[in-house]
């Protein structure tokens, strides 16, 4: 039985010293958040810069007309938006979580004439903000 006592003592010492640990995966980082307020005729960002990774972007329609939102990387070789939010009615909020890498992104309302009237903004994705 002396070997059992030694094993228990060694186990207790390892636990006390923190040498034995359970491999628990780290929880996924919560996404950054960005609120985009839309009204006639402008987009207002809650902040100009977010960190790379998952970003939850909410379009809050503060206006009297319906609005939507498009997001596109500025240096993209295609004209296709990275993300599209559905048309939102006045007072409604549309939310979407996207993964963004470093760079600059343009946001705009794609309803006829809204972008030209000023419903556009630029978002910067950077480690430092």
Predicted confidence (pLDDT) per residue in 6-64, tens digit: 555 554 555 555 544 455 665 667 889 999 999 999 999 999 999 999 999 999 999 99
Rounded to whole angstroms, how far apart are CA atoms 41 and 116? 9
Higher pLDDT, 75 or 43: 43
Q: Distance between CA atoms of 71 and 68, rounded to whole angstroms? A: 10
pLDDT at site 95: 97
pTM assigned to the model: 0.75
pLDDT given at position 121: 98
**Structural domains for the chain:** 26-125 (2.60.40.420)
Q: Tell me if 56 sits within 8 A of 105, measured CB to CB.
A: no
- Higher-scoring residue by pLDDT: 72, 26: 72
Q: Quick one: the chain helix, strand, coil %, rounded to 5?
A: 10, 45, 45
């Amino acid at each position: 039985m002396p070997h059992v006592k030694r094993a228990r003592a060694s186990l207790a010492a390892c636990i006390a010293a923190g040498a034995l640990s359970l491999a628990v995966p780290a929880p996924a980082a919560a996404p950054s958040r960005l609120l985009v307020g839309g009204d006639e005729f402008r987009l207002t960002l809650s902040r100009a810069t977010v960190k790379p990774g998952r970003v939850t972007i909410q379009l809050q329609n503060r206006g009297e007309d319906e609005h939507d939102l498009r997001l596109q990387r500025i240096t993209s070789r295609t004209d296709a938006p990275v993300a599209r939010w559905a048309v939102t009615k006045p007072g409604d909020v549309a939310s979407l979580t996207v993964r963004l890498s470093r760079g600059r992104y343009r946001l705009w309302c794609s309803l006829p004439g809204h972008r030209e009237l000023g419903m556009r903004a630029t978002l910067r994705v950077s480690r430092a903000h």
